[in-house]
Chains A and B, each alone.
Chain A
Amino acid sequence: MLKEKLKALIIDDEEPARNLIKNFLSDYPNIELTGEFTDGLSGLKAINELKPDLIFLDIQMPKLTGFEMLELMELRPHIIFTTAFDQFAIKAFDEHATDYILKPFSKERFAKAINRVIENPENINSNEKHIRSILKTVNEKKEFILRIAVKSGTKIDVIGVHEIIYFEAEGDYVMIYTKNDCFLKEKTMKYFEDHLDNSQFVRIHRSFIVNVNEISRLEHYDKENYLAVLKNQKKLKVSSAGHKLLKQLLHL
């Protein structure tokens, strides 16, 4: 049993929903509500800054969804996920035995979720591995990625894929290059290859995925070797397999 007060945050874009949680929380004097946030971006910033022990997290929110926030959270507070009807999220939660509560929930259901947190500090929802596996399931089921949430120091940004010029492999990470910036993302090249629109983004090389709209021309410099010259003058290696893909796509 935890003796100190637990700091809690509510992150939900609907006022009646937040009010209900506040109302139910009033039965728990050892849980202190330290903030309410109405969108994913401000919610994420608050989590990283205020370092709460417990968060009530709605999945569907403006700016960043609950899952996008999970990817960029610097700590793992206890999370009580809430959703009205996200079948997609629910399926991911069920697959990984995650605790979540369905709106509208009863006082009893709420109590059950809170007691799990209070009685078990090693709560599964706060376990890093567990969160990673949920995210893996969620990301696998995505259709084309249209935006990517990235962190640059303490700043959090959401970039549209159309802004991306190319991706470069950096060990276990991927470096994402936009016109004026670059961002490191903890994902594999294969992940992006599988989830980006292949008619716009092509894996031209083990180390590069390029936005074909940014290709100015192809240079042939050796037997099987090509270089993709981008509009910004940058040159990227193209493997023979990559060249085949480009040929098909661009009808060369």
Chain B
Amino acid sequence: MVLIYYLIIYYNSVQERLNNEAKLREIIKESELNLLKSQINPHFLFNSLNSISSLTTTDAVKAQEMIIKLSDFLRYSISNPGNMFSTLGSELENIKRYLEIEKIRFGDKLFFDFQIEESCFNLEIPVMILQPLFENAVKHGVYESIGQVFVKTSCENSGNKLVAIIENNFESNIKSKQGAGIGLNNIRERLRLIYRNDQLVQTAVNGDIFQVKLIIPQILKENEDVERKIKSTDY
């Protein structure tokens, strides 16, 4: 009798565990889906597709170029979230794609340039960490302006840190800048989780110029560490 009792309890606990695992799997699937959704900016996507639709009637060659650019951009954006890091070079390549697509929508309203120190291209950076900054520059700069908006990006290799500065001018329109705040906080939080430092995102406003400074510590690789140790014991 006792045996049967224990068997029943055991069976119930197994069932419970199976149910929990099924629930967990559902939660994971949903969060993966949400992650995917959050990596795609629908406003950007549908407006870009509209621009392509328009280009097919005025400049088919440009339309095709834009399709490829958009496709490459999306492919990179939703690529394996398991890879936490990318190189600055790859990130900037994707940013360039993004800005070139936006330039087709906004023409002379948007100008951009990059001043990147040569040694920075191979430095490590969390994947897609820069994208929200450029989306902000477009959203709060270009979307709200009648005049031209310049987006200037500079990167320098400062010891064991990659310092990236993104600047854009804007027209004061008193529209909610809350969106920018949320985007920046997400980046700050992500960097805090990776590097255990909450001082890696700094913003500044100088007149009509908004500047974001991102500091990405370069985690030294294992043998480099050993090398340094050896060097430091030299007399």
A146 contact from B42, B51, B57, B176, Cβ within 8 A = B176
Encoded as 1 (CB less than 8 Å from any A CB) or 0, chain B from 35 to 62 comes to 0000000110111011111110110000
Q: Is the C-beta of A62 less than 8 angstroms from some C-beta in chain B?
A: yes
Q: Does B196 contact A (CB under 8 A)?
A: no
Q: How far is the CA of A227 from the CA of B223 in the complex (A)?
A: 74
A84 touches B145 (CB 8 A): no
Which residues in A have their C-beta under 8 angstroms from that of B57?
19-20, 23
Asked whether B54 lies within 8 Å of A17 as measured between CB atoms, the reply is: yes
For residue B40, give the distance in angstroms from its CB to the closest CB of chain A.
Answer: 11
Structural contact, A14 and B144, CB atoms closer than 8 A? no
By beta carbon, the residue of chain B nearest A15 is: B107
Pairwise interchain contact A143-B105, C-beta atoms closer than 8 A: no
B175 an interface residue at 8 Å Cβ cutoff? Answer: yes
Instruction: State how many angstroms separate the Cβ of A148 from the closest Cβ of chain B.
Output: 9
Which secondary structure dominates chain A's binding surface? loop
Are A143 and B49 closer than 8 Å at their CB atoms? no
Chain B residues 213 to 235 lying within 8 A of chain A, measured CB to CB, are none
Q: How far is the CB of A109 from chain B (nearest CB, A)?
A: 11
Proximity bits, A49-75, B CB within 8 Å = 1, else 0: 000000000001011000000000000
Tell me how many residues of B have a C-beta within 8 Å of chain A: 28
Q: Which residue of B lies closest to A102 (CB)?
A: B46
The bracket for how many chain A residues form the interface is 20 to 34
Task: Tell me the smallest distance from the CB of A239 to a CB of chain B, in Å.
Answer: 30
In the bound complex, how far is the Cα of B42 from the Cα of A102, in angstroms? 12
Tell me, in angstroms, the Cα distance from A241 to B47 when the chains sit together.
Answer: 49
Residue of B47, B54, B171 most packed against chain A (CB within 10 A): B54
CB–CB A104/B53 < 8 A: yes
**B106: A residues at CB distance < 8 A:** 13-15
Shortest Cβ distance from residue A156 to the other chain B in the assembled complex, whole angstroms:
14
B62-111 interface (Cβ within 8 A of A)? 104-107
Give bound CA distance, A38 to B143, whole Å.
Answer: 11
Tell me the chain A residues, 142-168 only, with Cβ under 8 Å from chain B.
Answer: 143-144, 146-147, 158, 160-162
Report yes or no: B146 in contact with A103, Cβ–Cβ below 8 A.
no
Chain A residues near B144 (CB-CB < 8 A): 62-63
A104→B144 CA distance, assembly (Å)? 22
Interface pair B53/A147, CB less than 8 Å apart: no
Contact B143 A16 (CB under 8 A): no
A85–B46 CB distance below 8 A: yes
Q: Tell me if A36 is interfacial: C-beta within 8 Å of chain B.
A: no
Contact across chains for B51 and A16 when beta carbons are under 8 A apart:
yes
A17 vs B171: C-alpha distance when bound (angstroms)? 23
Question: Would B173 and A84 count as touching, CB distance under 8 A?
Answer: no
Chain B residues closer than 8 Å to A144, beta-carbon distance: 176
Q: Which chain B residue has the least Cβ–Cβ distance from A147?
A: B174
Is A214 positioned at the interface, with any CB of B under 8 Å from its CB? no
> Which one of B45, B47, B107, B144 has the greatest number of beta carbons of chain A within 10 Å?
B47
- Chain A residues proximal to chain B, CB less than 8 Å: 13-17, 19-20, 23, 38-39, 60, 62-63, 84-86, 102-105, 143-144, 146-147, 158, 160-162
A-B contact pairs, 13 of them (CB 8 A): A16-B50, A16-B55, A17-B47, A23-B57, A60-B143, A62-B171, A62-B173, A84-B46, A84-B50, A143-B176, A144-B176, A147-B173, A147-B174
Q: Contact residues of B with A, CB < 8 Å?
A: 42-43, 45-47, 49-55, 57-58, 104-107, 143-146, 171, 173-176, 178
In the A-B complex, the 6 residue pairs with the closest CB atoms: A84-B46, A20-B54, A16-B54, A103-B50, A16-B51, A160-B174
